[in-house]
Amino acid sequence: MTRTDFDSWIARQAQRSADAMEKAISATHLTRRRETFGQVVVPARGSVLASPAIADWNPEPDYFFHWLRDSAIVMRSVAEQMEDAASEDERARWRRHFEDFVGFSLRLCDPDGMAVSDYRPPTRRGFRKFLRPRSEIVGLADDKLLSEPRFNPDGTIDIFRWSRPQYDGPALRALACLRYLAAGGAQTHDLARLLRTDLSFTVRHAGKRCIGPWEEPRQNAHHYYVALVQLGAITHGRAWAGDAVGKWEAAIERLRAGLERHWSDKHRVFMARRPTVSAEDMLDAAYLLAVWDADLPEGPHSIEDARVPETQAALEEYFARELPINRERPTECGVLLGRYPGDRYFGGGAWYPTTLAAAGLYYRRAQRAGKDRDGLMRRGDAIMRAVWRVTPEHGALSEQIDRATGRQTSARDLTWSYAAFVATARARAQAITPISRAHTKVD
């Protein structure tokens, strides 16, 4: 496992991941039949599949949906692929993907295009329990529609019971649009309209209780992840909005005050949500995703905050101890991270997105560091070597890695996992060859 082998693997896996990520965008050639529920779904242009795998929870989960969160994270990587493109043809291809995404996203904001009136639920006993009440679907409009976590990739409403409302999707989509503009994308009328819609929603719902990023039922609370990506969207969006930001100051102050209440001085970690029930409830790798996705340029809750490495160290120590695959890892390998203590979803294994966010934060800090740069790079590389160890030769990335065997599990070909690898590999390249980072700022 030489350094050359390692560097070559990262390059190959980044390309494989970009290719797999692209296949989930505008997958109009696929058809998803949920015959029990009377659905035939053909993805529309601009949709982003959370996973193109066809599964019915037997045992793999059905992720044939367009999630607002996942799609926004993917499209942020699309904007960066466009920025880094080696040719004009490649750049134009990624740009078209983003423009299609903008058009599709606008259609999701329009209740008149949802075509739910013709839906007839199944009559077979035992299946109706999975469905939302019809009154809930018919009443969707305006902010309730923007609070939806996911849609069918053909643009129709998700009819299934799920954890709602969620307020991070529009904030993440705004961050993706701002990143696209910073990468040289054109500010079309549609993009400006979508960005105004998402930023306005984020300001209105800044700091409010909602369901968190793991979409766990009965966790309608104040989530660190949601508040920080909201703050990230508003902070990065101020330059774009210009004179309209005056009314945003109260939202910014509310978010910053709320985020500080997540800090536990006693335990020296940021709590994932509040209120918490126990000290164990405080730890959650969604914290790392929050810092990574919000990407604040400076100050509290950015990578400059000394509390970030404290919380990250606590998370790594916990998963090093609790996940069997970490206990006898080679000395050159870092820790694979799961989600939170007590996680039982598909066995509660390690997750590619959380593990890659941990590596990515080391690389971002290394890019800004002075004397500690080499140590931060080594720590990021150690985590990436752990990812290499559990990734098959063909490069497929699932949602999880089994906590004991290292076998891939849960959703196959998770688009978020591919986007996470692409983004982390890019952060590593920037840390190796430092360049002036262009934050999501539009003049």
Q: For the segment 224-237, what is each residue's pLDDT rounded down to a tens digit?
A: 999 999 999 999 99
Query: Considering the chain, what is the average pLDDT of its residues?
Result: 93
Residues 6+ apart with CB under 8 A from 381: 6, 359, 428
Pairing of strands 400-401, 408-409: antiparallel
CA 22 to chain centre: 16
Is the pLDDT at 115 greater than 60, yes or no? no
User: If we measure between CA atoms, which residue out of 159, 176, 281 comes closest to residue 219?
Assistant: 281
Cβ contact 140:111 at 8 Å? yes
Q: What is the pLDDT of residue 64?
A: 98
User: If we measure between CA atoms, which residue out of 154, 159, 123 comes closest to residue 32?
Assistant: 154
Q: What is the pLDDT of residue 117?
A: 47
Q: What is the pLDDT of residue 128?
A: 81
Q: pLDDT class for 139, splitting at 50, 70, 90?
A: confident
For the segment 149-175, the average pLDDT, to the nearest whole number, is 96
CA 327 to chain centre: 28
Domain ranges across the chain: 3-432
For the segment 150-175, the average pLDDT, to the nearest whole number, is 96
Instruction: Quickly name the fold that domain 3-432 has.
Output: Glycosyltransferase (1.50.10)
Rounded CA-CA distance 228/223 in Å is 9
> Using CB atoms within 10 A of its CB, is residue 305 exposed (0-12), middle (13-18) or buried (19+)?
middle
Q: What percent of the chain has pLDDT over 90?
A: 83
Rounded to 5 degrees, what angle do the CA atoms 159, 163, 169 make?
90
Pairing of strands 263-264, 350-351: unpaired
Is the pLDDT at 14 greater than 90, yes or no? yes
Is the pLDDT at 3 greater than 90, yes or no? no
The stretches of 279-438 forming alpha helices (DSSP H) are 286-294, 307-322, 324-327, 352-368, 373-389, 415-432
Sign of CA dihedral 132, 135, 138, 144: negative
For the segment 400-410, the average pLDDT, to the nearest whole number, is 97
For the segment 387-391, the average pLDDT, to the nearest whole number, is 97
For the segment 392-412, the average pLDDT, to the nearest whole number, is 97
